[in-house]
């Protein structure tokens, strides 16, 4: 069973789709974390759809956050993709180098596999903190769009 739900905004919050699109484009232009020239804004009945490609996960999230609370916005669909400007081998090397720099992580038992911009971590660590640090290091590498953390905690 599907139910049609329509969101109605108070009269002072109603805006036309072109007004919302213009406001969203301005919000993206003012956000220093978002590459404004690489994101397209589409607005239909107050619903904002973001499309385009960025280098980092934080840019994708930043774009959504920049437009989510604009007056008249009923919702956001974030279809921005993370497109790496590095090869999978470079991604793996950057993650492994980050592991070596992290004093909280015993990296010798963590394996990094890459497929395009997707990273899979496997192996074992001694604590939840180490497991989380490994995942954070993977997300911090340029071009990563997905991290699957299969690292187990060995006590």
What is the domain partition of the chain in residue ranges?
A: 13-82, 88-153
The tokens for 114 are: 């890459």
Which of 17-26, 82-91, 112-121, 143-152 has maximum average pLDDT?
17-26
pLDDT at 11: 60
Count, in order, helices (H) and strands (E) of the chain.
4, 7
- Alpha carbon distances (Å) from 7 to 3, 41, 79, 85: 13, 21, 22, 40
d(CA 110, CA 120): 10
User: To the nearest whole number, what is the mean pLDDT of the chain?
Assistant: 87
Q: What is the CATH number of domain 88-153?
A: 3.30.1340.30
The tokens for 154 are: 């060995």
CATH architecture, domain 13-82: 2-Layer Sandwich (3.30)
pLDDT tens profile 95-140: 988 888 876 677 788 999 998 889 999 999 988 988 999 999 999 8
In the three-class reduction of DSSP (H, G, I as helix; E, B as strand; rest coil), residue 79 is classed as strand
| 148 pLDDT more than 90 | yes
The tokens for 138 are: 């993977």
d(CA 71, CA 94): 41
Q: Across-strand partners of 79?
A: 51
Q: Across-strand partners of 40?
A: 51
Tell me 9's DSSP state: -
Where is average pLDDT lowest: 22-26, 29-33, 142-146? 142-146
- Asked, colleague to colleague, whether 13-82 and 88-153 share their fold, the answer is yes
């Amino acid at each position: 069973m599907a139910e049609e739900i329509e969101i109605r905004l108070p009269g002072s919050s109603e805006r036309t789709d072109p007004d919302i699109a213009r406001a969203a484009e301005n919000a993206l232009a003012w956000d220093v974390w978002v590459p404004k020239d690489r994101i397209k804004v589409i607005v239909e009945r107050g619903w904002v759809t973001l499309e385009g490609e960025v280098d980092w996960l934080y840019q994708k999230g930043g774009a959504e956050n920049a437009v989510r609370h604009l007056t008249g916005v009923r919702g956001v669909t974030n279809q921005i993709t993370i497109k790496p400007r590095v090869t999978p081998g470079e991604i793996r090397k950057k993650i492994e180098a980050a592991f070596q720099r992290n004093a909280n992580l015993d990296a010798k038992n963590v394996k990094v596999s890459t497929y395009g911009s997707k990273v899979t971590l496997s192996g074992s660590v001694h604590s939840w903190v180490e497991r989380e640090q490994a995942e954070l290091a993977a997300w911090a590498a340029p071009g990563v769009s997905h991290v699957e953390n299969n690292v187990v905690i060995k006590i």
